[in-house]
Structure formats: structure tokens, C-alpha cells
Amino acid sequence: MSTTKAKRMTSAPGARRRRIKVTPLRLFMLLLVIGGGLVAGLFMLARSWTPSAKYFPVQGITLSAQSGAINWRMARAAGADFVYLRATDGARGRDSAFNDYLAGAVANDMRHGAIHRYDLCSSASAQATRFIATVPRDPQMLPPVVEMDFDLPCTARPNRDTLLAELNTFLNQIETHAAKPAVIRTSREFEAAYDVAGGINRTLWVDGDFFVPDYTTRPWTMWTASTWKRINGIEGPIEWNAVRQ
């Protein structure tokens, strides 16, 4: 048989193909590819997910200086009905983007409010003074929010009775300024330590990525449903919030 004829026979459709040998390394590489694809898919889902509008018809975002430049039109197109802006931290901190974001929200007719991160090691009056000096008195603004967490360092944490007394002082002062009751945002860890919901009767805002929280002793109204969500037109991280009707 000629060499040419042999080549034709081996290239014919019915010719036997060489089987790929399955080795542990090739199997491992295949699993890596599949796993990487699943992780990428879950990551993209997490960045686009929001709670069902059927159960949470009003949803919005939280912005801080880390969020960067904001395209307000695209934020609204993504389903944001309102925005909360981080304004102050403790007695001295102030979010560097607050004024710009506030002006942007007003110019684009976006309902907006301000957040204060409470410092366990600073006096209530000093913190209230910082908030009042930063956030304008505007009846159109949403209720002010005081965020209770352990993000701000404090080596000598007060006991529960002291905290509740100081927090009441803070709330009385900022509520007089805002002319409306405040909202308390409390984390799972903070609530477990202090049970703020059981000590002060205010609207509650809770946290919990993707899963509806149940860590407060009474019903909550607002939920930070995702810290993974991203919006085209907003450079950096946001929080996506849902309001329970």
C-alpha cells in the first residue's frame, strides 16, 4: 500500500481517532475551569441582584465617599427610589463627599437623607453638634439615621444603660434639628450586645446580605439587602436597601 493511500484512509471520516488520556492533572484542570465559571456566574449574579419588588416596592441606595462619581440618572434607572448619604462619624468625622452628593440628590429630585455613625467613646452632645453642623435643616429630607455598630474603635465600651441614656440624648437633639423622628440602624453584632431595639422605640433598619434578617426583638422597616450590588454610572461600592411595607 502506498504512503499516499494510507494517509487518505487515516483521514477518512470512519478512521479511528486517538483517545485523550484522562489523567489526574487534566481532571483537576477541568474542575478548576468549571469551578471558576460557577464562581464568576455567582459573582455577576450578586452584583446585579435586588430583592423582589413585589415584597419590597420601595428600594434605594446608600452612598459614601468611596462610591466615587455618581450618574444620578442611571442610579434612578437601576431602580433606586431614594438615597441615604453618610454624613458624619462620631464627634469629629465627616464624609468628604457629603456636600457634593447632597447637591446632586437635590438637583436630580432624588429623595435623600443623612446617616451618622455613632461612636461609643464620644459624648452624645458632641456627636449631635457635629451632625447638626453638617446636615442642613430641610423638611424635605428623609428621617435622619443613627448607625449603631462596632466599626469605630472604642476600647472602653459603655454598659447598656449608659448607652441607651446617651443615645436618647443624641436622638433628642438631632430630632429637634430635623423636626422628625430618627431611624436606628443596628447591626447583628451590636444588637446582640445591646438590644437597642428593645430599649428605644424608633423605626429600625437592619443589615443582612441576600437573606432577610430576624435578629431584632421587634419588626424592622428597612433592610440593607446587599453590599455587593453595583450600578453602571456609580464608580465604587454602594449599599442596596429595601423598605418593607
Convert the pLDDT of each residue in 166-194 to its tens digit: 999 999 999 999 999 999 999 999 999 99
pLDDT of residue 245: 80
Give the pLDDT confidence of 15-24 residue by residue, as tens digits: 456 666 667 6
Among residues 130, 142, 74, the alpha carbon closest in space to that of 102 is found at: 142
pLDDT of residue 137: 97
Residue 36 pLDDT > 90: no
CA angle 228, 233, 237 (to 5 degrees): 30
Among residues 97, 163, 166, 177, the alpha carbon closest in space to that of 130 is found at: 177
pLDDT of residue 45: 62
Residue with cell 455587593: 228
The neighbour count for residue 194, using CB atoms within 10 Å, is 21
Residue 78 pLDDT > 80: yes
Give me the percent of the chain exceeding a pLDDT of 70: 82
pLDDT of residue 23: 73
Question: Confidence class of residue 165 from pLDDT cuts 50, 70 and 90?
Answer: very high
Among residues 205, 147, 143, the alpha carbon closest in space to that of 180 is found at: 143
Residue with cell 430599649: 199
Residue 47 pLDDT > 60: yes
Q: Residue 205 corresponds to which cell in the numbers above?
A: 433598619
- Topology annotation, domain 53-243: TIM Barrel (3.20.20)
Q: Is 109 left (phi over 0), alpha (psi -120 to 50) or beta?
A: left
Q: Where in the chain is the domain with CATH 3.20.20.80?
A: 53-243
Residue 8 pLDDT > 60: no
